[in-house]
A and B are shown apart, each in its own frame.
Chain A
Amino acid sequence: MDLNLTPGEVAFRDEFRAWLEANVPKDWAEWREKPLEESFPYLRAWQRKLQEGGWAAVSWPKEYGGRGATLMQQAIFWEEMARLEAPPMANALGLGLIGPTIIAYGTDAQKKRFIPKILSAQEIWCQGFSEPNAGSDLAALQTEARRDNGYYVVNGQKVWTSYGWVGDWCELVVRTDPTVPKHKGLTVLLVDMKSPGVEVRPLRQMTGESEFNEIFFRDVRVAVENVLGKVNDGWNVAVSTLMHERGAYGARLIPIFKRNINRLIELSRKIQRHGQPAAQDPVLRQKLAQCYAEVEIMRLNQLRAFSRITATGAPGPEGSIQKLFWSELNQRLQQLAQEMLGPYGQLLASDPRAVDQGLWSYGYLRSRGNTIEAGTSEIQRNIIGHFVLGLPRSY
């Protein structure tokens, strides 16, 4: 056990920190509150800049334009991004989830065709997994693809698609064989979102925004060379994407959670409660300390998981532990912010009296989705029960 950064990790951090200090756009603060539709070209340009510096996909192997960064270096990467308040990258799903899946399962031609444009944000990717009748039970999905000579003809509907409105390409899971057990008849297709028959509709969520979309496919023709992995092996390909989703994502959240709890502590010194600063209120002190401790434990769990993955060589079900922990912790953190802010907690960004431009009212509503998106807490507990503890499957 050695929790100091290695010389290699220090060098990585220092190099990236220096690069960020020279390159982080100074005007991000003016853009960050604008709707994503407006700021998207800005975020594309920022990603291109990172790519030119060789920083867009540090986790990818060098031959694909990455740096072959270790898990710990990836954690350092996100910590530095958060520390300097760098804008996010436009092609988040392409870089984080879909690119790595194409690198793992794609043909040489597919890698050559897609990988460079994922890196440069020339082509934005979205993920067509969930359906109205296939949420937690993802393998029950019904969007079908019939073979027609050199093409698959796709019909069906996807839902909860992030970046659907701006997506150029979609990693789409379809049913290619309805006659076999549900996990065995699935295939992953790489679909051009400009194909005839693709219709994207906004899905308005409880925060009032439309982060997600519904996508309808009507007789959409996809060339067979756009099958990712083997036909009818789509479940394994999709699970690989989901593992990326649950695994490394936690590391990106840690600096954000740290910033939020530190901000709450700062606020507690200014806000008055029972005639004294909230920081002196015995009950709120207890809750702040508890939350501070849990954010730290989230960080420690992540570091331990990284060491375990590095030792065993493969991400396992520990991603479920992280997902479960951070999603429920964020709900507790946001509720604590509400308790501290009292009636001001409810004020939206549009109200001039809102604290921190409505950050906390938004955070409270948005966090309600955390225990549902990317695998519900119930599903994560099922995964821990079955795959970690060896309990019999419940379904």
Chain B
Amino acid sequence: MQFGLNESQEFLRDSARKFFAAECPIAEVRRLMETDTAFDADLWSKLSEQGYTGIIFPEEFGGVGLGIVELVLLMEEAGRALLPGPFFSTVVFAGSLLDSLATKEQRRKYLAPICRGEARSTVAFCEPQGSWDLADVHLTATNGKLNGEKLFVPDAAVADWILVAARNGVFLVDSKAPGIGIERMHGMDLTRRLYSVQFEGTPAEKLGEIAGLARPRAIATVALAAEMVGGMQRTLDITVEYAKTRKQFGKPIGMFQAVQHQCADMYLETESARSAVYYAAWALQHNAPDAAAAVSIAKLYLSDASRSVGNRGIQVHGGMGFTWESDLHLYYRRAKASETALGDATFHRERLARLTIDARAVSAEKA
């Protein structure tokens, strides 16, 4: 058993770190968050030149064919850089959904352009009650047409296609189709935009059954958690650096145990989060029997721990941490948005309870 990264995984991580440091420094993040969509076409084509837009997809559709462990390493670095825009919605969520659900022809038509960096997409799941439970999806396609509303849809304004979870299947909608209305929702995270999407007799193409959502959703959940780990690591690094240089009472504040212990807890939470995410990625990749539990463990831990690390980081920074100028709040905002996306800690604890407490009760009854 070997829980470390191999050479090619380390190479991928290191080159991604260099790429984001060069192409997406925090000044660029701040520039993009002031734009309408937080999307930049140049940055997007650079992401695709690296092969990142096709990272986990089969080569026959123009992908790179890497695994979920590699995807989470990339997402961790993207999270560290606070990469703005639709990478998560397009590649991670919509891409995985197309890859696991769509026919070969549909994949050629919709997945291949994503791999090539020519198209963007997103997934519309939540409805007005704001639930990530499949049972709360009520939108239904009738005669190939959608009527209703989806909320909290990331990056819908820059998507070419919106993949819609409906009661009777997963459907693809052209974002320029008749009867579609896309409006911005004003969320905390300024680097990843959320939208409401209205459908009024909007034509929709069926991709597959709703049950097929499980795996792409698991991949998206663990990748989002990986992105959160990257944000935690960056918050920790910034905070430790600050604690070493900021002086009060004539000493660096990092000399005081009250501050040291905050940093130690941030480290503990970040490392624990990373363990949970790496394992979940490996378990998904290898279809381990505990993969579903591992994904929920990662997301429930990350949802709480990323907030906790953000809180501690800002606390250590004191007044400076509360300013707009400090980068910490940008990570803090992303952490809050990611905390609820794809289910918060409460949601995943309940899911884990069903998998562990209830499932075992069922098997015990049988035995």
Contacts and interface: CB of A to CB of B under 8 A. Distances in A.
Interface string A297-309: 1001101101110
Interface in A280-312: 282, 285-286, 288-290, 292-294, 296-297, 300-301, 303-304, 306-308, 310-311
B1 A4 contact: yes
Interface in B254-270: 254-257, 259-261, 263-265, 267-268
B349 A290 contact: yes
A381 B262 CA distance: 9
B50 interface: no
B350 A1 contact: no
Contact of A2 (B1, B260, B272, B358): B1
Contacts of B126: none
18 contacts: A3-B1, A3-B288, A279-B357, A285-B349, A285-B350, A289-B300, A292-B356, A297-B275, A297-B301, A300-B3, A300-B278, A382-B257, A382-B264, A384-B267, A389-B240, A391-B240, A391-B255, A392-B244
Contacts of A301: 271-272, 275
B257 A325 contact: no
A18 B6 CA distance: 33
B29 interface: no
A324 interface: yes
A391 to B, nearest CB: 4
Interface string B263-300: 11101100110111011001100101000011011001
A23 to B, nearest CB: 26
B3 A289 contact: no
Contacts of A308: 4
Given A265-B360, A286-B346, A289-B352, A391 B271 contact: no
B264 A385 contact: yes
Size range of the chain A interface in the assembly: 35 or more
Interface string B1-18: 111111001000000000
Interface string A266-278: 0011000000000
B301 A1 contact: no
Most buried by A among B268, B279, B360: B268
Nearest to B237: A389
Size range of the chain B interface in the assembly: 35 or more
A1 B282 contact: yes
Q: Mostly helix, strand, loop or mixed at chain A's interface?
A: helix
A251 to B, nearest CB: 12
B243 A293 contact: no
Interface in A1-16: 1-6, 9
B282 A3 contact: yes
Given A293-B352, A307-B3, A325-B268, A391 B244 contact: yes
B300 A321 contact: no
A259 interface: no
The 4 A-B residue pairs with the shortest CB-CB distance, nearest first, are: A385-B260, A300-B275, A391-B254, A384-B264
Interface in B336-366: 346, 349-350, 352-353, 356-358, 360-361
